[in-house]
Amino acid sequence: MEGRKVIGWAARDQSGHLSPYSFTLRETGPEDVVFKVLYCGMDHTDLHQMRNEIHSTNYPLVPGHEVVGEVVELGSEVKKFRVGDIIGVGCIVGSCGECFSCKSNIEQYCNNRIFTFNGTYKDGRPTQGGFSSAMVVHQKFVVGIPEKLAPEQAAPLLCAGVTAYSPLKQFNRTDKVVKAGILGLGGVGHLGVLIAKAMGHHVTVISSSDKKRVEALEHLGADAFLVSSNSAEMEQAVNSLDYILDTVPAVHPLQSYLSLLNVDGKLILVGEAPNPLHFDSVDLILGKKTISGSFIGSIEETQEILEFWAEKGLTSMIEVVKMDYANKAFERMERNDVRYRFVLDVAGSNMEY
Ligand code: NAP
Ligand code: ZN
């Protein structure tokens, strides 16, 4: 038996153009949570996938993996949620449950993780994301949204927020002021600034132009701002940072950024460049520096960032738009013309066409 009929907006080919698409959810299993989608954040990864720039995309593709919804139905064995609860789903909706990563509660690193969209569910059906009127997700991959958080504010935390929070947690210490660098002030980067500041770090934003200087310093509370093409500014900051969170979604030369790191400093890659990045080994060797990567965060950490955000009273900068603006919003995201995250008002959009 099939589950409920829903309407999503799907990309049909590499143009990435979204248009209405009707499909059915799976029948509600005993551990499934069915929810009406309220809001969904728009991430650069959505765009990479819509255009087949990362993994092979299966079309039609309904993107969206920062999904906030209201529970409308529960499987018989779901005890931790009730109908009417406001809940969230991030980038993954399944994993094997058996491997080291799954057993260590870092299921995002499971080799058999199931992506929220452009994945294949255990029943062989394609997974479809949050640009859709409703979704069905196994309870393990559903988090509760704290009452203090507005649902549209919670959406970007489910991917971008936890992507910044998970690697930054290792620097959440009180014995010294950590010198942070946030490279690329977009969706992930601006949440990175707010999280790092809330952890007490001294935050330097490294940006590709001067356009976001005032916003970074005055609205987001960053302590310093560097334009990466300004060699005098970059030179002054050499050997000053303990870490750099690199959110750039494009190929970029690493050498000048590595030079900003102090001894033992870490460059943490989260931005997905479509082609290989290059660096000289001596740039690492002579400063005992590390280049690492980090992928979203665990379900546990996703719940943690939501609580952290609510407790610290943080507010992200979002632009809420309707579904029929989604194509335009992605165009603007590509032009670096968003402050700093688009969030789709899915429930408030007319999904019937
Ligand atoms: P975004 O909103 O487009 O922000 C990216 C920022 O990078 C831009 O605002 C811009 O900041 C800078 N930038 C863009 N193009 C650049 C270029 N050619 N050279 C230098 N800087 C450039 O994207 P996002 O949603 O934050 O996502 C960022 C990246 O992280 C994407 O690749 C996405 O796929 C990836 N991501 C990874 C994970 C993970 O788990 N690892 C999770 C979420 C997203 P400035 O104007 O300040 O230069
Ligand atoms: Zn696993």
pLDDT of residue 249 exceeding 70, the answer is yes
pLDDT of residue 108 exceeding 60, the answer is yes
Q: Tell whether ligand 1 has an atom less than 6 A from the beta carbon of residue 44.
A: yes
289: domain CATH number is 3.40.50.720
Q: What percent of the chain has pLDDT over 70?
A: 99
- Ligand 1 atom with the smallest distance to the CA of 208 is 48
Angle between helices 299-312 and 187-198 (to 10 degrees): 60
pLDDT range class, residue 292, cuts 50, 70, 90: very high
Q: Give me the pLDDT at residue 54, please.
A: 78
Tell me the ligand closest to 94's alpha carbon: 2
Residue 109 forms part of a structural domain: yes
Å from CA of 273 to ligand 2 middle: 26
Domain hosting 98: range is: 2-159+317-345
Taking CA atoms, 110 is separated from 102, 169, 269, 270, 298, in Å, by 6, 21, 19, 18, 11
Query: Same domain for 117 and 194?
Result: no
Could you read off the pLDDT of 120-137 as tens digits, one per residue?
999 999 999 999 999 999
- Locate tokens 């029943």: which residue? 123
pLDDT of residue 173 exceeding 90, the answer is no
pLDDT of residue 353 exceeding 60, the answer is no
6: domain CATH number is 3.90.180.10
- Ligand 1 atom with the smallest distance to the CA of 248 is 7
Å from CA of 250 to ligand 1 middle: 8
The whole-number average pLDDT for the span 218-225 is: 97
Residue 142 forms part of a structural domain: yes
The whole-number average pLDDT for the span 191-213 is: 97
Å from CA of 336 to ligand 1 middle: 9
Q: Give me the pLDDT at residue 174, please.
A: 85
DSSP 8-state code for residue 99? S
Residue 99 forms part of a structural domain: yes
pLDDT of residue 13 exceeding 90, the answer is yes
Residue 101 forms part of a structural domain: yes
- Locate tokens 């790092």: which residue? 196
Tell me the ligand closest to 102's alpha carbon: 2
* β-pair partners for 154: none
User: Is the separation of the CB atoms in 106 and 59 below 8 Å?
Assistant: no
- Ligand 1 atom with the smallest distance to the CA of 205 is 47
The whole-number average pLDDT for the span 274-285 is: 95
Tell me the ligand closest to 247's alpha carbon: 1
pTM above 0.85, yes or no: yes
Query: Same domain for 136 and 270?
Result: no
pLDDT of residue 1 exceeding 70, the answer is no
pLDDT range class, residue 31, cuts 50, 70, 90: very high
Q: Give me the pLDDT at residue 56, please.
A: 87
- Ligand 1 atom with the smallest distance to the CA of 333 is 3
Query: Same domain for 10 and 155?
Result: yes
CA 78 to chain centroid, in Å, comes to 26
